[in-house]
Structure 1
Amino acid sequence: MDIKNIKTEWNATILDILKAFIRICDEYGLRYYCCAGTAIGAVRHHGIIPWDDDIDVIMPRPDYDRLLEIAETADLGKYELITPYGDDTYPLYFSKISNKNTTLIEDRHIPCVIGLYVDIFPLDATDDDTEKAWALKDRYTKIINRLNAISTHNSFSEYISLLGKRKEWGRFAIKTAAFFFRKAIRRRLIQQMDRLSHLYDYDKAKNVQVYTGSYGHREVFPKAWLGSGKEFPFEDTTVLLPENYDEYLRHFFNDYMQFPPVEQRIEKHNRAYLNIHKKETREEIRGKVDFRI
């Protein structure tokens, strides 16, 4: 679903969610840093990149775990924290802070109804030996892929077609098991990721990494780059980036101040269904979209 016609309203909504998240962090003394395209937007555009469609932040694991605890009892008003522990249809290990008065389905194959959101990625301590940290990232990615496999609902023909590709046989096997034990397998995968995420003491670690990030081994970097953060203007507010933001961004994107080619200036997220003005249930959505519920 294209959002070009509502891009201004879309951006205003996710910016409002970011401001709410920052207020929570300020109130409870939680650390965060804008990351990925949001960090580039802060430095290069002083706001959301014109063709971007989301906002991403990272949180040191101790602060992230504390946020999850706070969200269990605190009144967040029109916002809610979506986590892998609260919704069996949620296909991710990281969390999102969402506007609960909106409706969003990103993938018609995944029966997860949420609202517009800001992504919150836990930033975990990892091994001081970079190659060992990379190996942990590879191990973690395999678990993420399994979680994705059991979260995705396919037609029978799509499911059987996996047998035609040898590299998809593992996915076929875990999806077969998920037909009978989806919740139990999901719970076990979340537990495995929890254990890996808490292997090292964040305060003592030299290196950190975003296990759930999409930049491969580049997700491993020195914790010293983060510092206490550096403020940047972002639309009509201010946000925090890693203190050594230039080194951090060049590590991920090389010359991040250079604009990408025009053909790469596109939205990167799917939207199978969207109602930016109202929260709808699965029953209300049924029939409006080809959504595998």
Structure 2
Amino acid sequence: MKEYILKTMDDGHVITVRDVQMVLLEMLKMIDKISKDYDIPYYLVGGSALGAIRHKGFIPWDDDADIAMMREDYEKFLKILPVALPEGYMFQCFDTHQEYTVTIPAMKIRKKHTYVKEANTLLANKCQDGDGLFIDVFIIDYVSERKVVDLIHRIGNDALMPLITLCENLHMNPLGLKKLFVNHAKRYGEKAKGSPLIGYDLTWTFYSPFKPIVYPKSMIYPTRYVPFEDTMLPVPNKAEEYLKIEIGETYMQYPAEKDQQPKHIIDIKL
């Protein structure tokens, strides 16, 4: 297996993508245990789901891990984490940290006594209590079946995103805009509740509002467990159909070799 080096220390010791993946794997196992203990469904998304199906584990060059859960499950997760999270871990989100960047995934679960610097400065961590290696937690919410209604709401939140980012890059904390951004997304999900369609909640604006990632709830739930490295982790029930929407029809094909590179981490300490 090819070795993807993230950092070479002064003494010649290297930190590889595989080193990071092994830490992330332990974190995923910890989250899975909490999920089972408290009956909180979740599933792997994006590259983590692709890795589960195509590689039965991590994509060899992938240097992060992503999970998602329905909003009602996320809110339950948020309530129990302070007591359920083992020593050595912490979490950050807008509910607990007003400086949290709301244009990134809703929550980061971090491993203490580690350090990571992300490649994208627009998504830089603003929280002062930890920069540890993390797992992203995305909120999934209901989506209106009426495409025009959906588009209007998405454009509304998309318009706020650059304003929030600009303020934060000017070292301001635009609390009013951030609350509007988060609350608008939540209200939209509440209005669409009961729809057969779900997708990333409106705080995740990195897809075109004209072509959002949306799928039937029945495609995701009930989730199913599949082999992932040396354990079993949950993916969408119809993961193959989900990946066609999330990644593309050719999701089983490897990208060009030049694109088989880690892309999230520019500095790391384990």
Match of 2:261 in 1: 266
Match of 2:132 in 1: 115
Change (3 A) 1:149 1:85: farther
Match of 1:275 in 2: 269
Q: Which structure is larger by alpha-carbon Rg, 1 or 2?
A: 1
* Root mean square deviation of aligned Cα: 2.4
Change (3 A) 1:260 1:131: farther
Match of 1:173 in 2: none
How far has the Cα of 1:187 moved from its partner? 3.6
Given the alignment, which residue of 3, 6, 9 partners 1:3? Answer: 6
How far has the Cα of 1:245 moved from its partner? 1.1
CA distance in 2, matches of 1:243, 1:120: 19
AA matched with 1:102: T
- Conserved? CA contact 1:47–1:233, under 8 Å: yes
- Conserved? CA contact 1:89–1:151, under 8 Å: no
How far has the Cα of 1:73 moved from its partner? 4.3
- Conserved? CA contact 2:222–2:237, under 8 Å: yes
TM-score (norm 1): 0.76
Given the alignment, which residue of 62, 65, 81 partners 2:75? Answer: 65
Gaps of 5+ in 1: 155-177, 277-293
The within-5 A match list for 1:1-293 is: 3=6, 5-6=14-15, 7-92=17-102, 94-106=106-118, 110=124, 111-112=126-127, 113-153=130-170, 178=172, 182-201=174-193, 204-211=194-201, 212=204, 214-216=206-208, 217-252=211-246, 253-271=248-266, 273-276=267-270
More strand as a share of residues: 2
Change (3 A) 1:218 1:249: farther
TM-score (norm 2): 0.81
Aligned positions, number: 247
Q: Report the 3-state secondary structure (helix = DSSP H, G, I; strand = E; otherwise coil) of the residue aligned with 1:47.
A: coil
Gaps of 5+ in 2: 8-13
How far has the Cα of 1:222 moved from its partner? 1.3
Q: Report the 3-state secondary structure (helix = DSSP H, G, I; strand = E; otherwise coil) of the residue aligned with 2:191.
A: coil
Change (3 A) 1:238 1:82: same
- Conserved? CA contact 1:92–1:148, under 8 Å: no
More helix as a share of residues: 1
How far has the Cα of 1:36 moved from its partner? 0.8
